[in-house]
Amino acid sequence: MKIKTEWIVFIPVVAFALLAVMIGEPTPTAPVSITHINVENENQSHETQYIAQATCYVCPPYCGKMANGKVVHEGAIAIRQNSKLIKEMGLHLGDKVFIEDYGTYEVEDIMADWVSADIDIYMDVSKQECLEWGKQSLKIEKL
């Protein structure tokens, strides 16, 4: 039996969508909540920060190349295309962000627009630990 090349891409996408439904992720049409915060520093200038909905991902199963061509690794995050993080914060591939309580990360991948989280953080943990981490609201700042 010969498998068409279209199925190689289609099957993992469907499997990921089913997994998201099974673990209770909101549907792609669910509203995304991002809170905008202005923080004053000693120089009276303003730095823009956001509270973003974050999820984690692990290898396996997501061991492929990211949008920048690199293989997934610690210190990498993916941002959802068409999110407020891109539109209002101006994040793009290669930008660095500081995530409160987690440290500095680089935007190295882009998630599909139907994903309900704003950012996806690669973590070197087990798949179970990643699922238990769930979805969290985290403060991020563009560096």
pLDDT in tens, 58-74: 988 888 899 999 999 99
Contact of 81 with 89, CB cutoff 8 Å:
no
Instruction: Considering only the C-alpha atoms of the chain, give the largest distance between any 2 of them, rounded to a whole number of Å.
Output: 68
Could you tell me if residue 21 is inside a domain? no
Could you tell me if residue 112 is inside a domain? yes
Q: How is residue 135 written in tokens?
A: 């979805």
| CATH number (domain holding residue 104) | 2.40.40.10
Could you tell me if residue 95 is inside a domain? yes
What's the pLDDT score for residue 2?
Answer: 56
Could you tell me if residue 12 is inside a domain? no
Question: Is the pLDDT score of 77 beyond 90?
Answer: yes
Instruction: Count structural domains, the chain.
Output: 1
Could you tell me if residue 20 is inside a domain? no
Which residue segment(s) compose the domain that 80 sits in? 30-142
Q: How is residue 43 written in tokens?
A: 């120089």
Beta bridge partners of 137: 53
Most confident of 41-55, 110-124, 129-143: 129-143
Could you tell me if residue 5 is inside a domain? no
